[in-house]
Amino acid sequence: MTDKPEDVPDRPLRRGWTTGACATAATRAAYAALLTGEFPDPVTIRLPGGQAPAFALAWEARGPDIYAAGVVKDAGDDPDVTHGALVIATVSRGAPGSGVTFRAGEGVGTVTKEGLPIPPGEPAINPVPRRMMSEAVAELAAAHGDAGDVVIEVSIPGGAGIALKTWNPRLGIVGGLSILGTTGIVVPFSCSAWIHSIHRGIDVARANGIGHVAGSTGSTSEQAVQRLHGLSDLALLDMGDFAGGMLKYLRRHPVPRLTIAGGFGKLSKMAQGFLDLHSGRSQVDFNWLADRMAELGASPDEIDRTRHSNTANQVLTRAIAAGLPLADLVAARARAVALDTLGGCGTDVEVLVFDRRGGLEGRAGFAVPGKVLILGGTTEAAELACSIDGMSVVTSLAGRTRAPAVLPGEVRIGGFGGAEGLAAYLRDNAVTAVIDATHPFAATISRHAEEACRQAGVPRLALVRPEWVAGPGDRWIGVDDMEAAAAAVPGGARAFLTVGRQELGPFASRADAWFLARVIDPQEPPSPNIALVTGRGPFDLDAERALLADHGITVVVSKNSGGGASQPKLAAARELGIPVIMVRRPAPPAGPCAGTVDEALEWLHRTLRSGRSTWTCSGS
C-alpha cells in the first residue's frame, strides 16, 4: 500500500517486495519447518513472473504442530508505509481435505464491503498472494508426501496503526493492512499502486450504490468537498495528481455524479488539458492564464503581469482583486476536459476550486441541478416544497394524517422500510440531496435519514426549527419523555394535551385526572378520562385562550416543538397563569442543520447549483 508520492529522487530507484511476496516467503519457511523441523534461511520463492528471490528470515517460532516465520518487508525506494514491517506467517495443520485456509492475524485487515476482489468477511489477502502461498504449500506438500491441509495466519505486528495511513479504512478494510501485489515486486514511484487504489475506490463506491463520488487533488480540498456535499468516506476517491487514472476508469465504470476538487494551480493544468497534475510532469502555462484573463476582459497591464507571474496563486489573487471570475472559468475549462475524457459515459461532472484553507474560489456545476427529497410532515417542509424552483422536488410523508396539505412537486406517502429502504429509494430515484424537515420529535426517521444518506453518498441537511424558550411569566415544568409528563400531571387536574394522538397512552392510565387532547383527525377517545378536540395549526391566541378557559384547564402538556403555529397556547397559558409541562426534545440529528427555510434554501443552492455563497452550517 503506497503512501502519497512526493518528489522523485534523481538516482536510479531500487525495487522492493510486496507484502504478498513477503507473506509467501514466510509461509514457505514456516510450512517447511512444520514438515521437517528446520526453517530454511534464506528461503526462496517463485514469483508470478518467474523470478526466484531469496528472503532472509527475521523471526521464527515453533510450538507443537505450529510453526511461524517472519520476513521484514523491504519496499525498495517506494514511499511505502509498510516498509520495514515484519510480515509473519503462522502455519498449522488444517482439517483433512480442507486445503489451504487463510486467516487474518494481528495487523492484517478484514474486508467488510462489497466491490473488492475478496468478499466481505474474508481476510484482506488478495487473490494473487493467496495463489502464491497456496502454490508454495502445494510444492512442498508434493515433495514431502503431505496432504497440504494447512491454516495460514498472516500477521503484521503494528499493522492496525499503519493501516490508518492507507486507503484501507476508506475501502472498508478494518483492523489492519492488506496482503497485496500481483507481481511480488514493488516498482518504485510507478504510480500504479496509487492508480490501483483509485480504481478500487471506484469499485467499492459502485458496489455500495454511491451515486456521487469526489476526486480531490489533496486533503484540504477533499475535506472541503466532503463538508460541502456531506459525502461519506466511501465516496472519496484519492485522486491526487492522477485525474486521468480516475477519469479513464470512470469512463468504463461510471458513477452518476463526480465532483473534482482541487487547488487553482492543479486545476489550471487540468483546464489546459493535462490529466497528470504532478509538478514533475505538467506545468502551469502563464500564457494560457493570460489568455483567460484577456477572455474575461482584464486590462492589458493585468494580462501582461499574468504572463510574467511566478505562481498560479499570484494570478488568482490578482484576478479576485480585479473582480474577475478566473477560478470559475478555470473550473469550467477543467470540467470540459473531464467530460471529454469521460467520453459521454453518463457521469455528470462538477469542478470546485478551493484555496489553501478550503474556501471555495471557483465552481463549474453539474449539468443537471438535481432532485431533492424533503422528509416532511411539518409546516417548514411544506413551505420549503413551495419555495424550491428549478429542480425536481419530492416530499415524503409518513401517512399519519388523512388529508395532508396539497404540495407542489411529487408527494409520496408511507415509510421506506428503515434506513436500508430509504438508501435504496435514494439510489433508485437518483436523489441528489435530502432535506430532513421532519418534526424535532420524529427522531427515528431522522436517524434513518442520516444513515441512508451516508450509505448512498447523498448530501443531507436537517431543518430543525429553534425550540421554545420560557420567558417571564411562564410556569414551565421540564420533563424528558411522555411517561414523565403523565407522572407530572397533578391528581384532580384538568389537563390540555397537545402531544399528538400517538402519545396519549401514558395519560390514559391517569384515571385521577381529566384530559382534553387535541388531534388532527377525528377518532375514538382511547379511554373515558380523555376527551378529544380536533384542530390543525396555525392556531390563534384568542381561540386558545377561550379553549383553556371554557374547559377549565389547569395544566397544559406540550412537546417543545418550537415554531409559530402552535405557540399561541403557551401565550394563553402564560396569561391565565396556567403551568405547562414541557417535554424536552430528543437530541438533534448529527451533521449540517439549518434553523429556517431560507437557510435550507441557501444550503440547497450551494450544494446543487453552480452559485456560491458564504453560508456555513453549525455542526457541519
Residues that bind ligand NAP (CB under 6 A): 375-378, 396-398, 400, 415-418, 421-422, 438-439, 441-445, 448, 500, 559
Q: How far is the CB of 235 from ligand NAP (least distance, A)?
A: 23
Residue number with CB closer to ligand NAP (288 or 441): 441
CB atoms within 10 A of CB 522: 9
Q: What SS3 class is residue 397?
A: strand
Give me the least distance between CB of 553 and ligand NAP, in Å please: 20
- C-alpha distance from residue 603 to each of 244, 362, 407, 434, 461 (Å): 31, 17, 21, 11, 8
Least separation, in Å, of the C-beta of 470 and ligand NAP? 20
Rounded to 10 degrees, the C-alpha dihedral 579/580/581/582 comes to -150
Q: Are 345 and 254 in contact (CB under 8 A)?
A: yes
Closer of 57 and 486 to ligand NAP (Cβ) = 486
Residue 471 CB, nearest distance to ligand NAP (Å)? 23
Could you tell me the sign of the dihedral formed by the alpha carbons of 117, 123, 126, 130, in that order? negative
- Closer residue to ligand NAP (CB): 411 or 541: 411
Distances (CA, A) of 506 to 18, 483, 533, 534: 64, 6, 18, 20
Q: How far is the CB of 348 from ligand NAP (least distance, A)?
A: 27
142: cell is 508434493
Report the alpha-carbon distance of residue 21 to residue 172 in Å, rounded: 23
d(CA 454, CA 522): 39
The one-letter code for the residue type at 293 is M
3-class secondary structure, 484: helix
- Residue closer to ligand NAP by CB (options 421, 535) is 421
Residue nearest to ligand NAP (CB): 415
* Nearest distance, CB of residue 482 and ligand NAP, angstroms: 10
Closest to ligand NAP by CB, 95 vs 406, is 406
Q: How far is the CB of 454 from ligand NAP (least distance, A)?
A: 16
- C-alpha span between 470 and 465 (Å, rounded): 16
* Residue with the three cell numbers 476482489: 117
Minimum distance from residue 208 beta carbon to ligand NAP (Å): 20
The smaller minimum CB distance to ligand NAP, of residues 331 and 374, is found at 374
Q: Which cell goes with 64? A: 507443537
Query: Minimum Å distance from CB 381 to ligand NAP?
Result: 7
- Residue 19 or 498 having the CB closest to ligand NAP: 498
Query: Nearer to ligand NAP by C-beta: 119 or 535?
Result: 535
Listed residue (583, 584, 581) closest to 513, CA to CA? 581
Residue number with CB closer to ligand NAP (390 or 421): 421
342 vs 443: CA distance, rounded Å: 41
CB burial readout 416-436, b (16+ within 10 A) else e? beebeebbbbbbeeebbbbbb
Cα 50 → chain centroid:
42
CB nearer to ligand NAP: give 274 or 425: 425
Q: CB 369 → ligand NAP: shortest distance, Å?
A: 23
Lookup result for grid cell 472541503: 224
